Chains A and B, each alone.
Chain A
C-alpha cells in the first residue's frame, strides 16, 4: 500500500471564521475512508479545498497518482480533476438541461481529446473519437444502473437517480481518488442499503480510493475502513468505525447516545 493523499496542517478561514483548522489527513491507496462530524464542522470545506474550489489559507495537499506526486494546493479545479481527483456535490450539481448520457460524456471526453480542426471540419478521427466517448459513457451508465434513462434530461431523474448520476459523472473523469459528499442524503433506508453495496462495488471495480462524507451512520459504519471525525474544523478523532463509535468525544459532539439502535 502506498499513500495517495497526504494533507498536512490544512487551514481555511472565511473572514473571522476558521472553517478548517490544521487538519492532517492521510489516505492509503485503495482505502475507503469516512469523514464525519457535526453540521458545519468543515467537511464540505475540506472537499472544496481538496478540489480547488477554494484555495487553502495554509497547509499542503500532496496527491500521488501513478508515476507522479504533486501538490494540489492553489491548483485550479479542472487541473485537480485531471490529476485524478473526482467528486460529487452535497447540493446536487448536474447539467440539468442535458441528458443523462451527455452529462457523463462531458466528463468522459476530458480524457479523450481531439483537436479543434477535427471538430470544425469533421475530419476522419472525429467519428471514432465520438463513438469511443459515447460508448465509454454508456458503459458507466450501465455500472450505475442508469442505462435505461440515458436519454432523459438529468432534471427529470428522481432524487436518487440524480445522486447516482453524480457518481457516474465523477467516475467518468477516471479518478484514482473519489470524494463523495453525502451520497445518501434524501434517501430512505432501503435505498441507502442499495447505495452502500454500489459504493463497495465501484471501489473494487475501478480500483478507487474513496473519501466519503455522510451523516447516515448505517452507511458509514458499514463501508468505511477508517473514519476521521471533524468538529469545528479540527480533527477530534480518527480510527476504525468501532474505535470512533466508542470515542466519548465523538459521541458527545456528533453521534449522541442512541446511535447504537439506529
Chain B
C-alpha cells in the first residue's frame, strides 16, 4: 500500500472530497494501513461505478504517525483547508476522540472504522453529534464473548490475558469480566502483555499451573497468533476466545497447526455465502494477494457507508452528511447489515467464527 495520494484536484463541483486520516506510520500503522486498504478499494469501486450522484470521490489521505496530536492537526487541516465533507479515521479510539472537538467546531463528521471504545461516540454530555463508527463498541463484544463461553463451553472458570497498551483490549476484558462473573463464573487469573510482545511463554507457563475452562484473549492478531501458538506448544488445551482483533489470515499463519479450539466474535465469516462477502473477499485477494482482515473489511464498509450517506444527503456539506449518516437504516455491508442507533453506533449482529479442535473453520450467528 502506501501508494499515491488522492490530492490531484479535479475540477470543483465534480468531486467530493473525503478525508482519510490514519495511522500510516508509527506504532499502530498496521491497523491504519489495513483500514486504508479497504477504504481505497471501496472508493475505487464507487468511482468506477460512476461515483456518487455522478461525482467522483476524491480521497485526501494523511498520516498521523500514530500520534494523537498529529491526528488533531490533520483533521483540522482536512476540515478547514481541504474542505472535506467527512473525515474517515483514525483507526484507534484515542486518536479518534482527539479529533472530535475539531469535528464539532467545524461541523464535519468523523467516522472511524475501528475506534471501539465505548466513549468514542458518547460521553457524560450525551451523544457526540459528529462522531460515528462502523464497528462494535467494546462492551458489546466482551459481553457476547462471555455469554458464548458460558453457553458453548459451560465455562465456570476463565483466565484473561489482555493487551495493556490499548484500550480496545481493556474494554473487551472489562465487559467480559463483568458479564462472566455476573453469570456466576470466576476469573481465576488475569494478566496483560505490552504491545508488540513476542514472548508469552512465561505467562502461559503460569496459567498452565492453574485450573480453568477458557482463556479470554482480547487483543489483536499480531500478538494473539503468537500467544495461541505458545500456549498450545506448552500443552495448554482449553478453548481460547477473542474478539474481532483476531480476524486476519496472519492469526492462522502465526499459530500454524496450533490454531485449534479458538473462537472469536466477528462481523462476518469468510464462510458466509452472501455474495457481497464473497465478492469482497475475491476482489481483495485479487488486489492485495492476501485474505482481508477485519480492519480491511471495516475500512471498506466505512467508505461505502459514507458514500451512501453523501448520496442521500440533502446538501453536500458536513452538516448534510452528518444528518444522512445518523439516519442510516439497514445499510448492507460486508461486516453485516446495520443501522445507526441514537448513540451513533452501528447496530449489527455478532458472528462467532472459530477453528474447532481439528482446526476446521466453523461459524455461527450470535
Within 8 Å by CB, do A and B touch in the complex? no
